[in-house]
């Protein structure tokens, strides 16, 4: 009897274990089959939301229902050149590009390139600095505005000395509107371009779209930030500066208010070169034009502290100087000296 009872107990325990194992296998098979159903496009709500709120829905291929995230662009570090190798690199570039008897007309002027190097060295190789950007920007405002005159130059190889691009100058620098910049200023509201070395600063979005602020390094351009002299482009549909029809009609592009305006397809290239410490030098190859200075009128004398002409300084009209064109000399109107009776 005891043996039969023990046998029934073992059969009962075995039956319970077998049932538990069967349930586990069914559950595992369900978990295994579930992704297969999901791959067929099934949308399964998880954690039903409270009434009035949308639930979180997981979709195939995303993991959380949101669109696939776009890759993040990481800007590569700016290439640099050490001050100890700058002189050697400069000589090598000069020998390779300016050692011939004749250089192409579109190539950056040799003296202007050397001046830009001297300005570069004065800023990046002094005051404890030992390195600077390997690629700089040089502008030759002596060229006509219809000609490419902005150069993006690699100081290590000279790449860019033969591939200029167009840039506009300020309308205040071209008073006769003939396409040549002849006047340069650092004065607010002059609408003129400035000459000298400058450093690129931060980007911003203004009325001309994405732009780059500049900080001048010399007395000739140290008001660039206050004057809002920046690098910018323009919307392609508003071709105010380099419109082909405008250039063919007027013979020259439009002018800016003193900013460096480049074509839209070149904007990002130049902004990446200059932003956050890049170097730009605006120069003038050859001799700067001399501004017309009015000749002082010797007949007008201003007395100190009065701001007006004292009566004693005014010369009578009848006492014109001899030698003036169409004005023969006349006798003075002052009284004749008295004669002695002795």
Residue 330 has pLDDT above 50, yes or no: no
Q: Which tokens go with 146?
A: 């219809």
Q: So what's the pLDDT on residue 193? A: 96
pLDDT tens column, 25-77: 666 666 555 554 445 544 545 555 566 555 666 566 555 555 666 677 777 88
Domains of the chain, first to last: 80-283 (2.40.440.10)
Residue 336 has pLDDT above 60, yes or no: no
The string of DSSP letters for 202-242 reads EEEEETTEEEEEEEE-STTTTTHHHHT-EEE---TT---SS
CA separation, residue 128 to residues 83, 85, 124, 258 (Å): 11, 16, 9, 33
**pLDDT reading at 181 higher than 70:** yes
Q: Are strands 196-206 and 167-168 parallel, antiparallel or unpaired?
A: unpaired
pLDDT of res. 72: 77
Distance in angstroms (rounded) separating the CA atoms of residues 215 and 208 = 19
Does the pLDDT at position 277 exceed 90?
A: yes
Q: pLDDT exceeding 70 applies to what percent of the chain?
A: 59
pLDDT for the residue 333: 43
| Residue-level pLDDT at 133 | 97
pLDDT at 238 over 80: no
Mean residue pLDDT across the chain? 77
For residue 86, give the nearest of 131, 45, 128 by alpha carbon. 131
- What residues does 140 pair with on adjacent strands? 283
How large is the average pLDDT for residues 268-292?
89
Candidate from 92-106, 125-139, 310-324 with smallest mean pLDDT = 310-324
Query: Which one of 64-73, 74-83, 91-100, 258-267 scores highest in mean pLDDT?
Result: 258-267
* Residue among 149, 222, 223 nearest 180 (CA): 149
């Amino acid at each position: 009897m005891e043996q039969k009872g023990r046998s029934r107990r073992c059969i009962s325990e075995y039956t319970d274990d077998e049932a538990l194992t069967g349930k586990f296998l069914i559950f595992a098979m369900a978990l295994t089959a579930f992704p297969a159903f999901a791959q067929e496009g099934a949308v399964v709500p998880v954690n039903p939301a409270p009434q009035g709120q949308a639930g979180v829905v997981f979709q195939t291929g995303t993991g959380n229902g949101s669109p696939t995230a776009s890759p993040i662009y990481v800007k590569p570090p700016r290439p640099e050149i050490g001050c100890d190798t700058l002189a050697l690199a400069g000589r090598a570039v000069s020998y390779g590009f300016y050692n011939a008897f004749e250089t192409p007309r579109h190539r950056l002027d040799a003296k202007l390139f050397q001046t830009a190097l001297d300005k570069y060295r004065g800023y990046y190789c002094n005051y404890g600095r030992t390195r600077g950007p390997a690629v700089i920007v040089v502008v030759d405002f002596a060229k006509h505005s219809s000609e490419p005159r902005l150069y993006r130059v690699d100081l290590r190889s000279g790449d860019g000395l033969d591939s200029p691009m167009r840039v506009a100058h300020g309308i205040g620098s071209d008073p006769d509107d003939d396409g040549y910049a002849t006047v340069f200023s650092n004065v607010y509201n002059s609408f003129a371009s400035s000459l000298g070395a400058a450093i690129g600063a931060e980007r911003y979005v203004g009325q001309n779209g994405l732009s780059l602020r500049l900080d001048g390094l010399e007395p000739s351009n140290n008001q660039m930030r206050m004057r809002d002299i920046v690098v910018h482009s323009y919307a392609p549909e508003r071709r105010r500066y380099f419109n082909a029809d405008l250039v063919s009609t007027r013979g020259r592009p439009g002018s800016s208010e003193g900013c460096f305006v480049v074509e839209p397809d070149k904007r990002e290239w130049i902004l990446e070169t200059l932003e956050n410490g890049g170097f730009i030098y605006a120069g003038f190859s050859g001799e700067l034009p001399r501004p017309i200075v009015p000749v002082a009128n010797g007949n007008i004398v201003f007395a100190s502290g009065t701001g007006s002409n004292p009566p004693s300084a005014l010369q009578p009209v009848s006492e014109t100087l001899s030698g003036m064109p169409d004005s023969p000399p006349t006798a003075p109107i002052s009284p004749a000296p008295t004669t002695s009776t002795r």
